[in-house]
Chain A
């Protein structure tokens, strides 16, 4: 059973991720009053990219991409989707936090070896942005962990299943709000699409990616979408009893995110930092203080 889960979870996540990418393009097109590509367009792109001859700038350039995709796949195993959570008892939230930063780190290492300033600028923006949203995110997660007195995300989900969603329960309400405020930054969609600003720095870290590198990077992007949303759903929307409900919740969150993405322009990096370190952080800290007061 465990083996089946281990094999099943990443494939599901992959499908959902690609579906999200396609859905994103379709919905954006409709918001733009266009017809839009077929929903399978990302798959076609990936197939095309895999069939193209790519160039490599060195071993780290290759290994970085592979490493980052691999880490995203591993991270899937830590996230409960419904009841499916293969590696539930291997470190819990902290491991998730750390593995979450591995994927961008791998991309950063490989993009760094490309010896292209656009890549370096994109990476510096990416890491800065990560620092920006980790400040409130860490406070939020710590509030959740302190409230439920556990590090294991599975326990958090089951506790919410027994009582009520964290988003609607009193002590974690503000934390949930803060999470919603930083969710676009975590997903890397507009207004926080600073890392791969195609018009400024020609798609940042991916500037030298072509062929199968770009294919892997695209898949990894899909998985990132999946992970960011799944984490939110698990922590604040009470996870789910079974996968369909879970994916339904994720879909809702994602579509809301898409509307934000379509509506807002891109911020500059320091604007983004100023925003992230002001309101979400403030709200998150208040939430944490409330949690502490209730805990006492």
Chain B
């Protein structure tokens, strides 16, 4: 670590914590998960960036949506995302979460994931290489530094919209709203 690193540390320890200990919830949505094992094991060793997979969303602060998202999976994704403690960061992995990708005309997959949960960064490609994940992580660092990785805040402030989208998709949801659905707009940041 160089000097200004240390100065940053002393300025905002919490933010540095968020940067350098990104614990990813190990959630397999689609084929993209194939790329994750090489990333976390000896070949690319994500742990040197502080990125390790954890078992439960309660302990995680990074959510990798790996591959296409079917409607059924989306429900689980939303619950998991809501159970993660904020600040939390989401990265869509592969082209399917972005625009449906090769499932663009499937009746059963989501085309645009960020209608339902906020996404802080995208990794395009089908499949992206493991290095792409590191690029995403370093990019996420810069976003965190600039306070631009604010997906959880957007979710908080626009929750009624997200909820509306979710309910439009699923009908009635079986879990109560995460935030009160009234008085949303004033409390951004």
Contact = CB atoms under 8 A, between A and B. Distances in A.
Q: Do chains A and B touch in the complex (CB under 8 A)?
A: yes
Interface of A: 25, 29, 32-38, 41, 44-45, 47-55, 198-199, 202-203, 206-211, 214
A47 B50 CA distance: 13
Given A48-B18, A206-B59, A207-B55, A35 B85 contact: no
A35 B45 contact: yes
Nearest to B44: A34
A125 to B, nearest CB: 15
Interface of B: 13-14, 16-18, 20-21, 23, 41-42, 45, 47-48, 50, 54-59, 61, 83-87
Contacts of A206: 56, 59
B85 A53 contact: yes
Nearest to A218: B59
B45 A34 contact: yes
B42 A202 contact: no
A25 B21 CA distance: 14
A196 B47 CA distance: 20
Contacts of A198: 54-55
Given A25-B47, A207-B56, 8 more contacts: A32-B41, A34-B47, A36-B45, A37-B47, A44-B21, A55-B83, A203-B54, A210-B59
Contacts of A53: 85-86
A47 B47 contact: no
A286 B59 CA distance: 45
Contact of B42 (A32, A38, A47, A203): A32
B59 A203 contact: yes
Given A29-B47, A202-B55, A203-B54, A211 B85 contact: yes
Nearest to B15: A51
- Of A29, A52, A55, A199, which is in contact with the most chain B CB atoms at under 10 Å from its CB? A52
B145 to A, nearest CB: 15
Contacts of B48: 29, 34-38
Given A41-B50, A211-B85, A47 B45 contact: no
A210 B17 contact: no
A51 B58 contact: no
Q: Which of A34, A35, A198 has the most CB of B within 10 A?
A: A34
A44 B59 contact: no
B50 A52 contact: no
A158 B57 CA distance: 49
Nearest to B86: A53
A210 B85 contact: yes
Contacts of B42: 32-34
Contacts of B55: 198-199, 202-203, 207
A223 B86 CA distance: 27
A199 B42 CA distance: 19
Contacts of A207: 55-56, 58
Nearest to B57: A210
Contacts of A36: 45, 47-48
